[in-house]
A = this chain, B = another copy of it.
Amino acid sequence: MSETLIDRVTLDDLARGAAFLGSGGGGDPYYGQLLAHAEIERRGAFRVIAADMLADDALVAPCGWVGAPTVSLEKLPNGAEAVAGLRRLEAIFGRPIDALMPIEIGGSNGLAPLLAASQLGVPVLDADGMGRAFPESQMAILNIHGLSSCPSVVTSSNGDLAVLETSDNLAHERMARGLSIALGGIAHMVEYPLSGAQAKRHAIAGSLSAAIAIGRAVREARDADADLFGALYAALRATELYPFAGALFDGKIVDLERETRDGFSIGRIVVEAFGREQQMTVTFQNENLLATDGETVRAMVPDLITVMDIETADSITTERLKYGQRVRVVAAAAPAVLRTAHALTFVGPHAFGMDMDYCPVEQLNGWTAP
Contacts and interface: CB of A to CB of B under 8 A. Distances in A.
Nearest to A160: B166
A114 B111 CA distance: 50
Given A178-B182, A182-B178, A161 B171 contact: no
Assembly of this chain: how many copies? 2
Contacts of A162: 162-165, 175, 179
Chain A contact patch, size range:
20 to 34
A168 B181 CA distance: 16
Interface string A167-181: 110011011011101
A119 interface: no
Contacts of A178: 178-179, 181-182
A160 B165 CA distance: 6
A62 B197 CA distance: 42
Contacts of A294: none
Contacts of A365: none
A315 to B, nearest CB: 31
A273 interface: no
A162 B153 CA distance: 9
Contacts of A161: 164-166
A171 B157 CA distance: 12
Contacts of A163: 162-163
A168 B179 CA distance: 14
A175 B179 CA distance: 5
A159 interface: yes
Contact of A177 (B160, B175, B177, B182): B182
Nearest to A84: B165
A120 interface: no
A172 B160 CA distance: 8
Contacts of A312: none
A221 interface: no
Interface string A340-360: 000000000000000000000
A178 B185 CA distance: 11
A183 interface: yes
Interface of A: 156, 158-168, 171-172, 174-175, 177-179, 181-183
Closest 5 CB pairs of A and B: A178-B178, A178-B182, A174-B182, A160-B166, A163-B163
Given A174-B183, A178-B179, 15 more contacts: A156-B171, A158-B171, A159-B167, A160-B164, A160-B165, A160-B172, A162-B162, A162-B163, A162-B175, A162-B179, A163-B163, A171-B182, A171-B183, A178-B182, A179-B179
